[in-house]
Structure formats: structure tokens, C-alpha cells
A and B are shown apart, each in its own frame.
Chain A
Amino acid sequence: MESLFIEATEATPKINLNSDTGIFLLAERSLPENAFEFYQPILKWLNEYAEEPKEETIVNFKLDYFTTSSAKQIIKIFLSLEELNNTSKVSINWYYKKEDVDMYAIGLKYSKLVNLNLQLKEF
């Protein structure tokens, strides 16, 4: 299957889902007018990837900021990754900037809320 790449804008994150390497990236900031719509193709892509995944999947979150409506979509990504974890070894790196207490706290919260191997990493 084809990889999915979406360039960042001032309101939407950079998305790089590489089906060849099984390494995914969500970066920068996410405040789209319509988060539900923006994340639809990403969720759909993940479903298709799960049919024939790499042995290992690494998901890097390097987000500066995201809205609550994006948070809900990100949770849906996590749930989809939980599913994927049955067929591919999924690990998640949640990156935060050193001084960014907020992004660290969110990562910590998510590590408790979802049943996945989630590492907090400074960048």
C-alpha cells in the first residue's frame, strides 16, 4: 500500500505514515476547523495498514499543540493502534519539549489511558 504524507499547515499537523518502514509521524500543531474530517483519512489508512502490517510499527508523536477536538481523534488513533498491536509490535514515542509541562502531562495521561507501549521522550 502507498504511504500517506500530509504537509503541515498553520492549522494542521504534518502526517507521515510510511508503509515501507512501519514508522509513523504526527508532528507540529493540530487545530483544524474540522478535526473529525481531517483525521478520517488517517484512521482509514491505519485500518488498511492493519490488514498487512510490518512486523514492528513505531509511532512518533511530536506535537506542539492540539485542540480538544483533535484530542478525540488522536484517541481514536490510539484505539486503532491497540487493535494493530495484535498483529504488529506497536511502540509509541511521545515527544515533548523540555519546558513543555503540558505536553509531558498529556503523554503521561495517555500512557495510562491506553493499553500500549508508550515512551515519553524529550526533544
Chain B
Amino acid sequence: MATHRTQESLSPFETARAMSSLEPHAKDASYWASQMAAVSCRRDRDCFMRIYDHYAPRLRLYLRGIGSPEAVAEELAQEALLRLWQRAASYDATRSSLSTWLFRIARNLHIDRLRREPLWVPVDDEPGWPDRDEEGDVTSAESHAEQVDLRRRIERLPAVQARLIRMSYFEAKSHHEIASELAMPLGTVKSSLRRAFIRLQLGVRGQP
């Protein structure tokens, strides 16, 4: 391994950076899409377990980061991957990468776990994805290329924007929490996140 610091001393975001330079193309979105295709067409358990082996530890780490205790993170990561197996037929590689799909399931499971209202609607049923015709005809080749491109853009975010994105996605911190933790005006937090989002939008070409 090229990293000299131990992995525990790296934040998830730093590790993500180290990671992406270590194996840039070995296991990209198209690799996982092909594994997933085998799961949905053939119910291929080996392919599923390859997905499991890759994503289960990442999901557990992600869920702990956004506040799940260890045991809950383990349980929710298992549940997220089981849903992937159950709903494999509805996975559409042209709409989202496998990691986006898993991210969404894990986040929703985490939010549902925190809620106890009697009329709580599982977040899974929330409006979320644009209707197909709204998105246009995105071919899966395009979306794989866009995934690689998105990864590159994340690596190139200015330090402050990268930090706020990390605190949002990996620690589930609100604008208000970020503002008080970093002693930053709320307006600055919001405008930095806005700028980061604009830089990271897919399908927007020619931005640095």
C-alpha cells in the first residue's frame, strides 16, 4: 500500500482520496453494474457476494459516521445489502450507479431507524428519483464516464468545500451544526455547499 499513515488516522474523506488514486479503474461503476446485472438476471450469488464483500465494510463505516452505533450499523448494512438482493430486478444502471443506489438505501434505513412516529412513512417511499422521461436517455456508458468524472471533481474541490461536503455526507451535520463547529457564518456554509454542489453536478461539462 502506498499510504504510510495508518488507516485509522485518516478521515473517511482523506481515505477516499487515497483510495481513488490507488485503484483508479480496477473496480469502477461499470464493473459493479456488470456484477449487479448478473445478480438481477441470473440471481448469481457469487456476484452478489463480491458486491457484499466490497460494500458491506464501506456501508458499516458510513453508517457509523452518520451516527449509528456499531451494532446498528452492522444490522442496517446487512439490511441494505439484502434489499439489493431482493430488489435487484428494479435496479437500472442507466439511472444510478450501484454505489448511489446503496447510499440511498442505507441513508433511508438510517433515517427510518431514528423515527418512531405512528404515521411515519418509510423514507424509501418518498419522492426521490426523477421520472424516467425527465432524465432523458442517459446511456449506461455515459453514466459510467460521468461517475469517473464526478470522482475527479470531488478530488479537485477546494479544501473548505471538501470539508463541508464531508461533514454533510459522512457526519450528517446540518448547516447550523457545521456553522457553529467551524465558527463560520451560516450564510458562508450555505454558499460554500452551493458552490460545491454546482461543481459536482453531472452532465455539466467544462468546469474546472
Judge: A and B partners, yes or no.
Answer: no
Using CB atoms and an 8 Å cutoff, list the residues of chain B in contact with chain A: none
Chain A residues within CB distance 8 Å of chain B: none
